Amino acid sequence: MSRKTEKTVYTCQQCGHTSPKWLGRCPACGQWDTLVEEVVRTSAARPGMPAAEAAVPVPIDSVSVSEEFRIATGIGELDRVLGGGVVPGAMVLIGGDPGIGKSTLMLQTLHGLAAAGRRVLYVSGEESIRQIRIRSQRLGTLAPGL
């Protein structure tokens, strides 16, 4: 269930550009005095995110579970720690001190999955694509699809 809110936007009558504040000149088309105030009803959900459904409490003992399918990573100890492999659709956070081998472990893991025909994506917030390529080359983990 989403909460409805009202907000004011200013829309250019020439090109349709919208702005959260009034401007004398439209930044999109350059026309003067074309922005008109409009009140728009919006949901409280963040842009790009669907409105959250209301959660209903459920007793934990009433939740049915089945043996989940897991994908073996090919790294025995990692599979053991993950309970037998990676659960499709799950996210696993790998943490540790700098230099401990997190990126190396992930490249080795994704290489094994990609080599087995799985679709993988390596996302890095601090290393450049060149650094990742150099590490992957050094480890021998370059694989099509990685």
Identify whether residues 93 and 134 lie together within a single domain. Answer: yes
Is 89 inside any structural domain?
yes
Residue 68 lies in a domain: no
Tell me the three state secondary structure of residue 39.
Answer: strand
Residue 59 domain-assigned (yes or no): no
For residue 97, being part of any structural domain is answered with yes
**pTM for the structure as a whole:** 0.55
Looking at the fold, whether 80 and 129 belong to one and the same domain comes out as yes
Cβ(11)–Cβ(38) below 8 Å: yes
Q: In this structure, is residue 67 part of a structural domain?
A: no
Contact between 63 and 56 under an 8 Å Cβ cutoff? The reply is no
Domain holding 101, by residue range, is 76-139
Distance CA 86, CA 27 (A): 48
C-alpha 51: how far from chain center? 17
Q: Tell me how far apart the alpha carbons of residues 127 and 9 are, in angstroms, rounded to a whole number.
A: 39
pLDDT digits (tens, 9 = 90+) for 109-123: 999 888 888 888 888
The answer as to whether 57 is a domain residue is no
Query: Do 36 and 91 belong to one domain?
Result: no
Q: Do 80 and 36 sit in the same domain of this protein?
A: no
Instruction: Provide the pLDDT confidence category of residue 25 given band limits of 50, 70 and 90.
Output: very high
How many domains in the chain? 2
Q: Measure the CA–CA gap between 138 and 37, rounded to whole angstroms.
A: 59
Residues 135 and 81 grouped into a single domain: yes
DSSP 89: T
Of all residues in the chain, the percent with pLDDT exceeding 70 is 86
Which positions ≥6 away from 136 have C-beta within 8 Å? 107, 111, 142, 146
Q: How confident is the model over 49-102, as pLDDT tens digits?
A: 666 667 788 898 887 776 678 899 989 999 999 999 988 878 889 999 999 999
